[in-house]
Structure 1
């Protein structure tokens, strides 16, 4: 599987937070059509059916980290509540490596419980 570009990761992370293509476009200073193209490329790269599936795959593969989503959420709560609803201008960096995930052949297999392991 090909990896996502930094821009594709930024777009996918903002989509994961719930922003529309127009909001993401305003944040990144591009048109909504450009965001739509980036998301189409993300879907193709990840083999995703739609936005939600791409987000799930992105989180599972480490292209989106929960810490990035937390930074966006924190930036969103720091803005005033009166006025137009604009997305925060959070700085997005390259995804951090995912630790604590199993590697190898059994990575997709759920962990066994102690009773299963003893049997």
Structure 2
């Protein structure tokens, strides 16, 4: 289980660093998003949020893990509730908008990835 959490954290960190360096990657992913990728991403957020909540008691920054866990679960559930088309329009609006906002989202991804790596 620890190795799986570490691999997920490493993948999120690497992808987020790439998005910070080249925001065009986020545009490409947003434009290629299909229903399967959408549902996978939404459920992945929920699962990662549950992992954060499960390990929050064992870490010194338990409150941070709790807050991020709840935030990820809410974001994943909101995406599922909103549906594929509405969420896709929202994502495309963000990635075709301000490049700095895409980089900030990448920085948040780096934070989440590093926290997952530290949790393993």
> TM (normalized to structure 1)?
0.31
> TM (normalized to structure 2)?
0.31
- Greater relative CO, 1 or 2 (CA 8 Å, sep 6+): 2
Q: More helix by proportion, 1 or 2?
A: 2
Structure showing greater radius of gyration is: 1
